[in-house]
Amino acid sequence: MDKKKIVGHSEERWDAIAKVKGQANYTGDFSFKHLLHAKILRSTIAHGYVKSYDIAEAAQMPGVIKIFLPEDLPHHLYSTAGHPWNLDPAKRDIEDRTMLTRHVHVYGDDIALVVARTELQAKKAMLKIKVEYDEYPVYLTPEAAMAPDAMRIHPERENAFASSEVGFGDVKQSLKDADYVIARHLTTPVQQHLHLENQIAVAYQSSDQRWTCISSTQIPHICRRIVAQANGIDWSQVRVKKPFIGGGFGNKQEIIIEPLVVALSRALGGRPVQIALTREETIAYTRTRHAISYDMKIGVNQDGHLTAIDCDVLSNQGGYASHGHAVGGKGGTFINALYRADSLRFSAKTVYTNIATAGAMRGYGMPQVIFALESIIDDAADKIGMDPIKFRQINHQPDGFYNQLGQTKQRDFLIEQCLVKGRAAFHWDEKLAASQAYKTGVKRRGVGIAAFSFGTAVWPFGLETSSARLFALPDGTFKLQVGATEIGQGADTALAQMAAETLGVPFKSVIRDVMTDTDLDPYDTGAYASRQTYIGGVAVKKAAEEMKQKILKRAETEFKVQLEHMDIVDGNIVYRADGDLVTTVKDMAMQSYYDWDTAGSMETYSSINVHHNSYGSGCSLAEVEVDIETGQVKLLSLMNVHDSGKIINPLLASGQVDGGMAMSAAYGLNEELLYNKAGKPLNNNMLDYKLPTAMDLPDLEGVFVESQDPLGPYGNKALGENPDVSPAPAIRNAVKNAIGVGIDKIPLTPELVYNQYQAAQKAAKGDL
Partner 1 sequence: MKQTIAFTLNGEAVSCDVDVRQSLIEVLRDEFEMTGVKEGCSVGECGACTVIIDGQTMESCLYMAVWANGKNITTIEGVAAEDGHLDNVQQAFVDAGAVQCGYCTPGMVLSSEQLLADNPNPTRDEIRRGLSGNMCRCTGYQKIVDAVELAAKNGGVKTDNRNKIPFHVAN
Binding residue for partner 1, selected from 15, 281, 567, 672, defined by CB under 8 A: 15
Does 636 participate in binding partner 1 (rule CB under 8 A)?
A: no
- 691-730 mask for partner 1 (x: CB under 8 A)? xxxxx-x-xx------------------------------
Question: Least Å distance between CB 426 and partner 1?
Answer: 16
Does 25 participate in binding partner 1 (rule CB under 8 A)?
A: yes
Preceding amide of 460 cis, omega within 30: yes
Q: Percentage helix, strand, coil, to 5, in the chain?
A: 30, 25, 40
Stretch in the footprint of partner 1 (CB under 8 A) among 310-318, 558-566, 585-593, 680-688: 680-688
Binding residue for partner 1, selected from 3, 4, 18, 762, defined by CB under 8 A: 18
Question: Least Å distance between CB 632 and partner 1?
Answer: 17
Question: Least Å distance between CB 28 and partner 1?
Answer: 7
Contact 273, 38 (CB under 8 A): yes
Closer CB to partner 1, 193 or 239, in the complex: 193
Q: DSSP readout, 135-156?
A: E-----SHHHHTSTTPPPSSTT
Across the strands, what pairs with 205? 211
For residue 288, report the phi and psi dihedrals to the nearest 5 degrees. Answer: -140, 175
The enclosing H or E element of 447 equals strand 443-454
The enclosing H or E element of 392 equals helix 388-395
Question: Least Å distance between CB 272 and partner 1?
Answer: 15
Question: Least Å distance between CB 124 and partner 1?
Answer: 11
- Residue 253 burial by Cβ neighbours in a 10 Å radius (0-12, 13-18, 19+): buried
Stretch in the footprint of partner 1 (CB under 8 A) among 406-414, 564-572, 616-624, 683-691: 683-691
Question: Least Å distance between CB 520 and partner 1?
Answer: 17
Interhelix angle 366-383/727-739, rounded to 10 degrees, is 30
Q: Is 107 helix (H, G, I), strand (E, B) or coil?
A: coil
Stretch in the footprint of partner 1 (CB under 8 A) among 16-24, 286-294, 561-569, 628-636: 16-24
For residue 238, report the phi and psi dihedrals to the nearest 5 degrees. Answer: -115, 135
Does 446 participate in binding partner 1 (rule CB under 8 A)?
A: no
Does 5 participate in binding partner 1 (rule CB under 8 A)?
A: no
Does 662 participate in binding partner 1 (rule CB under 8 A)?
A: yes
Closer CB to partner 1, 19 or 91, in the complex: 19
Taking the chain, what is the end-to-end CA distance rounded to the nearest angstrom? Answer: 75
Contact 734, 622 (CB under 8 A): yes
- 236-275 mask for partner 1 (x: CB under 8 A)? --------xxxx-x--------------------------
- DSSP structure class, residue 85: P
Does 431 participate in binding partner 1 (rule CB under 8 A)?
A: no
Q: Is 18 helix (H, G, I), strand (E, B) or coil?
A: helix
Does 655 participate in binding partner 1 (rule CB under 8 A)?
A: yes
Does 197 participate in binding partner 1 (rule CB under 8 A)?
A: yes
Binding residue for partner 1, selected from 3, 4, 16, 433, defined by CB under 8 A: 16
Does 23 participate in binding partner 1 (rule CB under 8 A)?
A: yes
Does 21 participate in binding partner 1 (rule CB under 8 A)?
A: yes
Instruction: Count Cβ neighbours within 10 Å for each residue of 453-485 and write b for 16 or more, e otherwise.
Output: bbbbbbbebbbbbbbbbbbbbeebbbebbbbbb
Binding residue for partner 1, selected from 288, 353, 583, 654, defined by CB under 8 A: 654
> How many of the chain's residues bind partner 1 (CB under 8 A)?
56
Contact 546, 606 (CB under 8 A): yes
**Nearest one of 161, 137, 166 to 321, comparing CA atoms:** 161
Does 589 participate in binding partner 1 (rule CB under 8 A)?
A: no
Closer CB to partner 1, 598 or 685, in the complex: 685
Question: Least Å distance between CB 189 and partner 1?
Answer: 17
Sign of CA dihedral 604, 528, 219, 491: negative
Residues 159-188 touching partner 1, rule: CB under 8 A, are none
Does 511 participate in binding partner 1 (rule CB under 8 A)?
A: no
Closer CB to partner 1, 489 or 572, in the complex: 489
Sign of CA dihedral 116, 119, 124, 127: positive
What is the binding site for partner 1 (CB under 8 A)?
A: 10, 12-13, 15-26, 28-29, 31, 193-198, 244-247, 249, 278-279, 487-490, 651-652, 654-655, 658-663, 685-687, 691-695, 697, 699-700
